[in-house]
Each structure stands twice: as structure tokens, then as C-alpha cells.
Structure 1
Amino acid sequence: AQTSFASGVWVDRMLALKPEFTAIAASRYNATAESVDFVSEAEHARQRVNAFVADATNKQILEVLPPGSVDSRTAVVLANALYFKGAWTQPFDVSTAPFHIPGGTTVRVPSMTTSESQHIAVYPGFRALKLPYKNDVQQQAEFYMLILLPDRDTVTLADLYDKAVSTPEFIKTHTPTGKVPVGQFMVPKFKFTSKFEASSDMRKLGVTRAFEGGDFSGMMTGGEGLSINGVYHKATIEVDEVGTVAATATAIVEFGSAGPGHGVDFVADRPFLFAVVEEGTDAVLFLGHVANPLAH
């Protein structure tokens, strides 16, 4: 698997980042820092940030900052990007299978199939599938995709989401450890992009001062009274019979002022949750859900 992480800070040329902040950003996060002219060349600065993200994500995300997100009042932009590409340890066959999307409609989608044993476990209300990624390099981190499939009419997708984000050990404790023979097996191929502005969600989580005249004096000269104007997040993922390509980017703009068995089925023909996880640390790189594999 290939992974890369990049961070950057773009500050208006009328301000200056403090050496302590620059040193920490470089040593801990390998972040780059640039001086730009937001006052007279805001659009050029926006394009520089987007170019940085595009390069860090191997062109999977071309625009994290939308038009109008940066203007002459912008003081600083912070951005980070994560890129992941992994191939399955064993590629899958492909066939067309039905998938039941919310609202009662059924669509036919290209799907991954196999008769080989898989890492599957059955839990009350849902079942889990672990799909390891190939790792050809020793000393390199190992990754896997975890798919959690709710049973019909028992556990909802929202229930699984809540457990995954509120219980730190949930992903780890519900990751299958051993292979079992499969009966029916189907996981749809999917590809989609998600983007949103996260300010309101952060406020709901209690992060309020930073949006209402916070104190960023530890970051830059003149940092008192700056406030976050926007938090832009964009993610893309593609899963097929060969493997996964995924990327995510976030930019912040601040303005001045189952047990063993035989033939265990895993048929993901309805909405499911997925996560890309690092094996050694249990760190979740990506978390999302598929409601319609045909919707990009």
C-alpha cells in the first residue's frame, strides 16, 4: 500500500508566523509554510493551495478550496491532505448483482465476488468483513478495509456509525481475525467524492471560540482576534476488484477579525459502513458508507 500525508500553511505577507510555530509544524507534521498576498492576489493564493493538495493526493483531489472561499480579508490558510492506494492481497472476480438502495429501489451494480475463504465474523445485528491490502515491503505499515453490513430490520447504518465514532475500541474489537469458508459473497465496486463545509458541525461539538475572535497569537504575530471563517473538507475513494484509491483533504480559512463455520455468507446488497484501517495502531484513515454504489 502507498500512503502520503502533507500539511501546509499559507499566511498573508503582512503577517508573520512565529518561529516556534514554524519549527513545530515542520518537525512534527513536515508542514510547508509560504507567504502569499491575499489582499491583491487572493485567487492566485487559492490556486496555490489547491495545487498543493492536488500534488499531495496524486491528483485525486483537485480543488479543496472552492471559488470565493479566499478573499482580501483572509489572513491564513491551513491545509492537510492524505493519500492512500492499496491492492488487495488477492484480486476478486467481477459480476453484476442487485443492490437495494434506500427508498425501495433496486439497481444492478458491478460487484466483487470470490469462492476463496475470507475474514468474516457475525455479530448481533450485523456482520463484518476484513479485506487486507497487499504489503510487499517489510517494515512498512499494513492496512485493511473493514466493511460492516447491518442485518435487515435489526441494526441501522446510523447505529453502526454511532458506535464506530463514539467507542474507540469498536473497530478493533469487531475486526475479524480468522478466515472462514464463504457461501455467497458479493461486495459492490464503488467510487464517490464527498465534500462539505464543517464549521457548523465543529460548533455543535463545542469548538466555538475559534470562530468568534479566537487567540492565535501563539501561531503568528497579530494573531489576536483572528477567527476561523471556513473549514472545507473533501474526500474521494474508489474500490474495485484490484484494490482501493482514496484521498482526503481539509483546509481551514481564518479571517482577520463470527465464529468458525462453513459457507458463511457476506452479501453486501444494501447500504454498509466501511473503514480503511492501519493494522498496527488501529488508526482509521477513512470512514464512510455506501448507500448507492452507482452514485459518484
Structure 2
Amino acid sequence: MLNMYATTQAVLVVLLIHSRGGSAQNNVCGGPRNNNSDEQVVIKAVADFNGASHRASRSGDLSSNLVLSPLSLATVLALVSAGAGGKTQTQIQSALSLPQDQCQIRSGFNQLLAQLNKTSGVILKVFDAVYVDRSSSVQQSFITVAHQYYSANVTQEDFRTNPSAAIVDINDWVEQATNGTITDIVGPDTVTSDTRLVLVNAIYFKGAWKVPFNPSLTTRDRFYSDNTTFTKVPTMHTIGHFLYSDNKGLQSHILALNYQGENVKLVIVLPYQRDGLDNFETLLNTIDQLQLGNLKDTYVNVSLPKFTITMFQELTPLLKQLGMTDAFSSAANFSGISNSTDLKISSVVQRAYIKVDENGTEAAAATAVAISTRLVVVTTPEAVQFNADHPFAFVLLHSPTNTVLFIGRVVRPVV
């Protein structure tokens, strides 16, 4: 069932720490603890970081498609904060909206990642990996934290004399973790003989729609990039009961499409106006403004373009904008990672991929046939029209924890 009408998303964050030129207290927490309040603190922090990173990303190109996973970024940076000290650690935790208590951070992420990885009805996996230069003196306490709290695989590499072999190993792991959707995340420009540590987080999601789209009903319809300019793009159609609301504060229609198991949903935010996406992104400061609790079961006639987005982003400027500056400079303090005093972060990169379409099995298509006649021939008067024929935003949400997995925008649908 998982291969029908699938949305596939994958994201990868790589954080590279190079040799450079401080002392961290890699405090012992006594192992993971069963404290629900720790998880709630981390979930709130990730939500706040979503808002902050969204605002910061608005300084980029707003005329392009976007997919970003603040969760993936927050996870790998939370791990590196465990090896930071002093002002470096404070800045990282503040940028992520995390508390200063490392034990609470570790416990909270440990519980959150465990919940995400046991999500039923879809494939949702969060992976972490740490690659350490075999000639460097890496603190065993940091390796223990990585393994015990973040379930990270720790691998030794010969960065100093054979960085090309390390590049192959990292890229192979990434390709396997993301089911082949992300390849070649690092290269000789990012992993060099100066590299001492590479931390990787990958998220992979694949889910089948609860209410499927019938591929035979997909048509080439108009999609407006502004009030008058349009192109014809493959557009999926279905009609049924969905969670829907009219958010006047954000001047947008909001639709939630559930996946099998109803643990994950794709939230589509469609501005009232064809050129309203920029205004929506200006108005949106926190995910709470979407007021997803106000979504009501509604009979909706849905038209949604198929789209695929692949992005590679250098996130260092965004993190510096959020106040995380010392980690990238000679003031960096990563003494909880190594006794060496010459470590700093050289780059933080994220490669993300999302594909939304109606590809499916014969059984899934047969299930959709029952609604095809109603969809094409009859539009019942009470059905709300949700026609995503102009730029819109999207959020992939893990419902049990209310955690945002991905956020993005579609300005020009590309299949």
C-alpha cells in the first residue's frame, strides 16, 4: 500500500568541522530518561526554530521553489552543541530556541526521534551519522552521546590522507538512507584533508494518500505565476472529505491531505490572491498562525499540481543571521568534541528533495475509480473548491507530535 499515490521527501544536512585553531563540559546525563516534558520542550523549540528559519530564509530568492527541513538542521546542530562549550554552545542553543540544559536537549531529541521512527502507515525514518578522522583525538564522551541519544552511527575515516575515500563512504551512506533520492551531498570542495569531523542527518518520508488521486483524471491546467502569466502543468484532481479552513488572518485557504495511517499530513496553504504568497510569508511568523486546530471536516473538490523540488542550500548565512557566529570563527569552542583547540565549522549544507504525484498500483487506481465519475461529471453544490492554480506554501506535519518535518513553497510546478 505504501507505494500508491506517494509523496516522497528526503532531506540531508551535513555539518563539516575543519581543523582551525577553547573548554566544553560534556556533561554526563546518566543515559536517556523517560521524561515527556523533555520531549515537549524540544518539540516547542523545533517549532520556534521553524518560524525563525522561515523568516531568515525570506532574505533569499522568493521567486523560486523551496523545500527546507528545519527539523533535520536542528537535529544535527543539537548533536554538535553537545560537543561545544562556552559562548559557542550558548549561541547554537539560542539559535535553535533550545534550553541551556544539555541533558534536557539530549533526552528530548532522543524521545522525539524515537517517536518519528516508529510512525505507522507511512515510511518515516530519521538517520544520523558521525564521521571522525581516525588520527584525531575525539572525545569518547561525544561519541557516546551521538550513539546513545541520537542513535548515530560513528565511523572513522582517513580525512588527512584519503579524503576522496571518505567522500565515497559518506555519499554511499546518504544514498542508502534516502532510498536513492539524494546522492553526492559532499565533494572535494567540502571534504578536504583539513576535515576532522562530518555530522550528517537525513530524513526520508514516503506515504500513500488516504484519499487517492486517480492518474486518469490528471490534466494539463493553468498555473498562474502572477495575475496574468500562466503555464499549463499536470494537475491532479479528486473530491472528498478533507480537513479545511479559511484563515482570514493569513488571507489563505488551508487544506490538509492525510496519508495512510493519518499520522502525517501535507498541509497546503493557498493564498486568496494569485500574487498573495509573498504577503502570506510576510504575515507568517510561527506555525501556530496556521491554526491547524481549526481545520474542519469539509467536502472539497481538490485540484493540485504535481511537483518535484530538489534543492542544495548552504545554510551558514542563515545560522549566522540567527546569532550563531562563533562556531564558524577562530572563537569556536568544540573542546567537548576534541582536545584539539583548532576546530571550527566550515560549512552547513542541506540537500532536500520532495516529489508529490499520483503514481500508484492498479489496486489504488481501482479504489479511485469509484469517485471518478462524480469528480469529472458532477460537482456537488456544497463542495468547497480548492484550486491550487497559483503559488502556494506547504508543510509536512507529523500529527502525533505536531512536528514540522518539511516546509516549502511552490512557485513554478516542475514534474
Question: TM (normalized to structure 1)?
Answer: 0.84
Residue 390 (structure 2) pairs with residue 274 (structure 1): no
1:153 Cα deviation from its structure 2 partner: 6.3
Residue 329 (structure 2) pairs with residue 209 (structure 1): no
1:48 Cα deviation from its structure 2 partner: 1.1
Higher helix share goes to which structure? 2
Residue 291 (structure 2) pairs with residue 167 (structure 1): no
Give distance in 1, aligned partners of 2:190 and 2:202: 18
* Partner in structure 2 of residue 226 of structure 1: 343
Task: Write the mapping of 1:1-296 to structure 2, written as runs, cut at 5 A.
Answer: 1-93=122-214, 94-102=218-226, 104-124=228-248, 125-135=251-261, 142-152=263-273, 156-162=276-282, 164=284, 166-171=285-290, 173-174=291-292, 177-182=295-300, 184-213=301-330, 214-222=332-340, 224-242=341-359, 262-294=382-414
1:117 Cα deviation from its structure 2 partner: 2.8
Partner SS, residue 71 of structure 1: coil
Kindly provide the amino acid, as one letter, of the partner of residue 252 in structure 2. F
Relative distance call for 1:229 and 1:190 in structure 2 (3 A) is same
Q: Report which stretch shifted further, 123-132 or 16-25.
A: 16-25
Give distance in 2, aligned partners of 1:14 and 1:102: 56
Report the count of equivalent residues. Answer: 268
Note if contact 1:275-1:288 (Cα within 8 Å) is conserved in structure 2: yes
* Partner in structure 2 of residue 138 of structure 1: none
Kindly provide the amino acid, as one letter, of the partner of residue 220 in structure 1. S
Higher strand share goes to which structure? 1
Note if contact 1:50-1:63 (Cα within 8 Å) is conserved in structure 2: yes
1:263 Cα deviation from its structure 2 partner: 2.1
Q: Please give the per-residue CA displacement for 1:225-259, whole angstroms capped at 9, x wherever unaligned.
A: 3111111110000001258xxxxxxxxxxxxxxxx
Kindly provide the amino acid, as one letter, of the partner of residue 266 in structure 1. F
Q: Please give the per-residue CA displacement for 1:50-87, whole angstroms capped at 9, x wherever unaligned.
A: 11111111111012214411111111111110000010
Note if contact 1:39-1:73 (Cα within 8 Å) is conserved in structure 2: yes
Q: Please list every run of at least 4 consecutive aligned residues from structure 1 whose deviation after the TM superposition is greater than 4 angstroms.
A: none
Give distance in 1, aligned partners of 2:234 and 2:294: 25
Structure 2, unmatched stretches of 5+, are 1-121, 361-380
Q: Please give the per-residue CA displacement for 1:114-162, whole angstroms capped at 9, x wherever unaligned.
A: 1323222112111000000002xxxxx81000000011168x3234335
Partner SS, residue 127 of structure 2: strand
Partner SS, residue 285 of structure 1: strand
Kindly provide the amino acid, as one letter, of the partner of residue 388 in structure 2. A
Partner SS, residue 122 of structure 1: strand
Structure 1, unmatched stretches of 5+, are 136-140, 244-260
Q: Report which stretch shifted further, 196-205 or 283-292.
A: 196-205
Partner SS, residue 170 of structure 1: helix
Kindly provide the amino acid, as one letter, of the partner of residue 288 in structure 2. E
Relative distance call for 1:42 and 1:103 in structure 2 (3 A) is farther
Relative distance call for 1:19 and 1:157 in structure 2 (3 A) is same
Relative distance call for 1:103 and 1:47 in structure 2 (3 A) is farther
Relative distance call for 1:237 and 1:52 in structure 2 (3 A) is same
* Partner in structure 1 of residue 117 of structure 2: none
1:104 Cα deviation from its structure 2 partner: 4.5
Q: Please give the per-residue CA displacement for 1:165-215, whole angstroms capped at 9, x wherever unaligned.
A: x324234x2365332223x53110111201111111211111100000211
Give distance in 2, aligned partners of 1:216 and 1:19: 14
1:279 Cα deviation from its structure 2 partner: 0.5
Give distance in 1, aligned partners of 2:345 and 2:315: 11
Note if contact 2:310-2:352 (Cα within 8 Å) is conserved in structure 1: yes
Kindly provide the amino acid, as one letter, of the partner of residue 257 in structure 2. L
Give distance in 1, aligned partners of 2:227 and 2:252: 21
1:102 Cα deviation from its structure 2 partner: 4.4
Give distance in 2, aligned partners of 1:168 and 1:276: 12
Partner SS, residue 319 of structure 2: helix
Relative distance call for 1:23 and 1:145 in structure 2 (3 A) is same
Q: Cα RMSD over matched residues?
A: 2.1
Give distance in 2, aligned partners of 1:175 and 1:150: 19
Give distance in 1, aligned partners of 2:188 and 2:335: 28
